[in-house]
Structure 1
Amino acid sequence: MSSPTLSAAPTTPVSPAEKLTLTVIGLGLLALLPATFDADPWRAQLFFYVALGLVSAGTLVWAARTFGRRPAGVQQDNLWQRSSTGRGAVAWLTALVLTGFYVILYWFSSPDEHGNFGVLNNLVHALDPLSQVLRNRPADQWFLYGTFYTLAVLVMGGRALWKYRHSPYQRIRTVSVMFFQLGFAWLLPGLLLALQKPEYYFSYFWPLKYDYLFPGTVSYLLQDGGPGLGVFLIFWGVVMSFVGTPILTYFFGKRWYCSWVCGCGGLAETAGDPYRHLSDKSRGAWRWEVRLIYPILVLIVLVTALLWLGAAGVLPAWFTTARPSQFSLVTNLSPVDGLGKIYGFFIGSIFSGVIGVGFYPLLGNRVWCRFGCPMAAYLGLLQKHFSRFRISTNGAQCISCGNCSNVCEMGIDVKQYAQRGEPIIRASCVGCGMCSTACPRGVLNLENGPREGRYQASPLIHADSLRILS
């Protein structure tokens, strides 16, 4: 007698129109090869813009046809059966390409004396006309990255708008991250450079943008920004880090930043949306989260404090001034400067970029936000202990479908809270609201209510229990 087997859930057949749009996207990706390696600059530039146009148009048309024809609602069917979203061969290939791009960008694209950017040279110089218009200077590898990043948020944001068109909260939140990435993280920094002012990203704050409050950066802003703009940029960074962040988090939780403003969160919520179900919900993953994210926050606070103590003359000069490396792990750097460089290499580059984005298809879209981001740790502590924000639950209405846990990108087993009628007050919660959007019964609600009773379970679950007992 043969053992019973579970039959696979039926998959939706791919229509000819969908196949056509996917073919267009594939041709766009293929066009990146001659754009990267063609020796003729004009042809390389032509292939580059053709590639961007095909990928962008194909993705938006695919999203309109795929999600526009479905009934409204969050549908996560068959995600684990697809090679692209179920850690299959396509997912591994995607992770390899993303990781390889970040490795090349960070460590193999610095220009030589002739302005050659290595493997990325054609792609960088293809953006020279756009860079001249926006920044009044030729493109570099970071302008290429910023353009790719912004385009990914905008195009995949369009996909998210189609997918979650039934939810006003998700529509507004998606438009918000698209706006801040385009305006505050791409256009404004470029315009500042065009005006011969310091490049500054207004949507990033310390400790995420950790060097913004380093003494060297403050001196640079004052020198290149002048007494007016330079002082304003420093004031903006300090006030948003130590005044604006606590106040906004008190009223709205960490969602005001992690899900509405931050570029890292913006990429995760748009380009990373297909992978949100991959987040590990196990207790072991939560333990690693605590072991990693809070020590990283402590480390950057320590480095920043030591640098300022050195600048104030409190610490010995050798401790904070560049000198021979007898005291340091990094050549010609003092211990504190060396520690800052090590932090930038392992946390700012490898963790946030190579792993944080490259591993989207394998570990989910919030690996960096969940395990490594010091800003998320800072906001999470404020949210858990001082904020009015919570996700209330009505356990009497929960049918244990698990949709909420499946879509939680931060690895929270939301269903367990919903079944007990307990409010969700977790430091890791970014308030994306997907659990509430995916719930078919309206069990979950994002609230900024009074702190009184914030940790109490819903009275409805207790009333229901009393009825059962009687």
Structure 2
Amino acid sequence: MSSLALSQPPLSDTSVTEKMLLTAIGLGLLALSTVAFDADADRARLSFYVALALISGGTLAWAWLKFGRGDAGVKQDNLWLRSSTGRGAIAWITAVVLTGFYVVLYWYSSPDDQGNFGPFNQLVHALDPFSQWLRHKPADQWLLYGTFYTLAVLVMGGRALWKYRHSPYQCIRTVSVMFFQLGFAFLLPGLLLAFQKPEYYFSYFWPLKYDYLFPGTVSYLLKDGGPGLGVFMVFWGVVMSFIGTPILTYFYGKRWYCSWVCGCGGLAETAGDPYRHLSDKRRGAWRWEVRIIYPILVFIVLITALLWLAASGAAPSLQPVAEPLSKAYGFAIGSVFSGVVGVGFYPLLGNRVWCRFGCPMAAYLGLLQKHFSRFRITTNGAQCISCGNCSNVCEMGIDVKQYAQRGEPIIRASCVGCGMCSTACPRGVLNLENGPRKGRYQGSTLIHADSLRILS
């Protein structure tokens, strides 16, 4: 038997109540799968809403049973022994199902002339009444995706609130991502469509929502949004991308967006929470992170500049080059990386694969945080007992324990300020601070010459 298995308590038996709740979730998934094959539209719609009720209600009740009744605190027992969270059979099946869902959604669910959405046709049309009520138009595959996405954030957000109820910071942060996903990324864009205005997501900015500053999108917003709302949408996008983001990051670090507002981060912090320990902490993974994420940022900056140069008339010959590049970026990064890999690989690579390796917004915010922000995580090395809880919960692949042992503040571009390292620490060694930039690279304890030599 391995030393890891010896150091962990045995897996607990599943209670009768838990089995009943898991049965309800399973029945919900079964009902949801039958919707796609049901030719009766009314019956399919009923099955769809029954399925969502069973899955959502069963998951919330199960989360209360697991986390809401016992002692509060971060519990990391048996994470690597469970098949679902230790890259076992259940994790692989989950990854295949999630990946398959994204593949079908992106490339096999576009409507034909008769409004047929392929394999998801009945699932999409089951949302027609809701779509007519909210958006005054029939449902499409993106409303189906948005509904699933938002429910995942809300339901698993409820789980997170029970699990981390002892931490005011985690509770407020979780409520924040739930609010922005439901209000700004789901309901508000639908209401804009109801008023025959452009579907606009006020919580997404360039370079994450890269096309918002493309010439074609800007023209569309100004035309269809009108002289008032359209101008405000373009103004909001420009100001938040180039003025609001640097100012907020200066005071609060990238956490103001990645852990409090962003929908990608919201899904990672709620639905992806069971997989946060899977992030690779090795230095080789960090090297790949740097090699991939910053070229992606440079690529989207270059594409945006080329499109504007072509649209301005200064270099019209660039149009045949810029357009294919933008489409290639949308396919490779906007679809494959952010969706298929970014979410589908949660159970295998952790919940922040996209944020860590592919998101240009994370790269942009990270550069600001690393070099200009007041934010840092301070450590007290004298109190560290080297338990490793902080490193285990870091979803961004930072070996936090190494900083804590040396009493060094954590100034890393990849850190999203989720605060889980501080929440998991049993000794109060780590603290999230927004102090003056002066001295933020200095540790709370003296670093000896040998340590400096090793760090260099």
SS of the equivalent of 2:36 reads: helix
Question: C-alpha offsets along residues 405-448 of structure 1, whole Å, 9 cap, x if unaligned?
Answer: 00000000000000000000000000000000000000000000
Residue correspondence of structure 1 range 308-319 to structure 2 within 5 A: 308-315=308-315, 317-319=316-318
Equivalent pair of 1:99/1:359 in contact (CA under 8 Å)? yes
- Deviation, 1:68, is 1.3
TM-score w.r.t. the length of structure 1 is 0.94
Unmatched tracts of structure 1, length 5 or more: 321-333, 466-470
Shift of the alpha carbon at 1:461?
Answer: 7.5
- In the alignment, the residues of structure 1 paired with residue 12 and residue 3 of structure 2 have an alpha-carbon distance, to the nearest angstrom, of 25
Q: Does 1:357 align with 2:349?
A: no
1:435 and 2:434 matched: no
3-state DSSP of counterpart to 1:37: coil
Q: How many angstroms apart in 1 are the aligned matches of 2:3 and 2:432?
A: 42
**Number of the residue aligned with 2:454:** none
Question: What are the residue-to-residue correspondences of 1:331-410 with 2, within 5 Å?
Answer: 334-410=320-396
> Secondary structure at 2:249's aligned position in 1?
helix
Q: How does 1:276-287 map to 2 (within 5 A)?
A: 276-287=276-287
CA distance in 1, matches of 2:217, 2:258: 24
State the alpha-carbon separation in 1 of the partners of residues 363 and 127 from structure 2: 36
Question: Does the alignment pair 1:232 with 2:218?
Answer: no
User: Deviations 1:211-269 (Å, cap 9, x if unpaired)?
Assistant: 00000000000110011111000000000000000000000000000000000000000
SS of alignment partner, residue 377 of structure 2: strand
* Aligned mates of 1:134, 1:45 — CA distance in 2: 17
Unaligned segments of structure 2, at least 5 residues = 452-456
Question: In 2, distance between residues paired with 1:263 and 1:93?
Answer: 25
Indicate if the aligned counterparts of 1:394 and 1:460 stay in contact, CA closer than 8 A.
Answer: no
CA distance in 2 between partners of 1:29 and 1:223 (Å): 43
Residues 386-421 of structure 1 deviation map (CA, whole Å, 9 limit, x = unaligned): 000000000000000000000000000000000000
The residue matched to 1:186 in structure 2 has which SS? helix
CA distance 1:392–1:120, change in 2 (3 Å): same
Q: CA RMSD in A?
A: 1.5
1:455 to 2:408 alignment: no
Give 1:296's aligned residue: 296
After superposition, residues 73-84 of structure 1 pair within 5 angstroms as 73-84=73-84
| CA distance 1:4–1:407, shift in 2 (3 Å) | closer
- What amino acid is the match of 1:318? S
Distance 2:176 2:347 in 1: 24
The alpha carbon displacement at 1:336 in A equals: 0.6
Amino acid at match of 2:278: L
Q: Deviations over 1:281-302 (max 9, x none)?
A: 0011001100000000000000
Q: Distance in 2 between matches of 1:110 and 1:428?
A: 35
| Deviation, structure 1 residue 13 | 2.1
User: Relative to 1, partners in 2 of residues 1:434 and 1:4: Cα closer, same or farther, differing over 3 Å?
Assistant: closer
- Is 2:134 aligned against 1:134? yes
Match of 1:197 in 2: 197
Question: In the aligned structure 1, how far is the partner of 2:273 from the partner of 2:16?
Answer: 25
Match of 1:327 in 2: none
Sequence identity, in percent? 81
Task: State the TM-score, normalizing by the size of structure 2.
Answer: 0.96
User: Structure 1 residues 74 and 4, CA, compared in 2 at 3 Å: closer, same or farther?
Assistant: closer
- Amino acid aligned to 2:384: C
Q: Would the aligned equivalents of 1:207 and 1:297 in 2 still touch at CA under 8 Å?
A: yes
Classify 1:20/1:135 alpha carbon distance in 2 versus 1 (closer, same or farther; 3 Å): same
Whether 1:42 and 2:39 are equivalent positions in the alignment is no
Q: Give the conservation status (yes or no) of the 8 Å contact 1:173–1:260.
A: yes
Post-superposition Cα deviations, 1:16-46, rounded to whole Å, max 9, x if no partner, equal 1111111111111111121111111111111
Q: Deviations over 1:185-221 (max 9, x none)?
A: 0011000000000000000000000000000000000
Q: Which amino acid aligns with 2:64?
A: A
Q: Give the Cα–Cα distance (whole angstroms) in 2 for the partners of residues 258 and 87 of structure 1.
A: 26
Q: Equivalents in 1 of 2:5, 2:71: separation in Å?
A: 27
Contact 1:396 1:460 in 2 (8 A): no
Counterpart of 2:245 in structure 1 is 245
| Contact 1:395-1:460 at 8 Å conserved across structures | no
SS of match in other structure, 1:80:
coil
Using the TM superposition, name which of 372-381 and 28-37 deviates more: 28-37
Deviation at 1:69, TM superposition (A): 2.0
Q: Size of the alignment, in residue pairs?
A: 448
**Partner amino acid, structure 2, of 1:12:** S
Task: Give, in whole Å, the separation in 1 of the partners of 2:311 and 2:204.
Answer: 24
**Alignment partner of 2:343: what SS?**
coil
Q: Which residue is 1:92 aligned to?
A: 92
Q: Which amino acid aligns with 1:442?
A: G
**What is the CA–CA distance in structure 2 between the aligned matches of 1:40 and 1:34, rounded to whole Å?**
11
Q: Which residue of 1 aligns with 2:186?
A: 186
Q: Distance in 1 between matches of 2:84 and 2:70?
A: 21
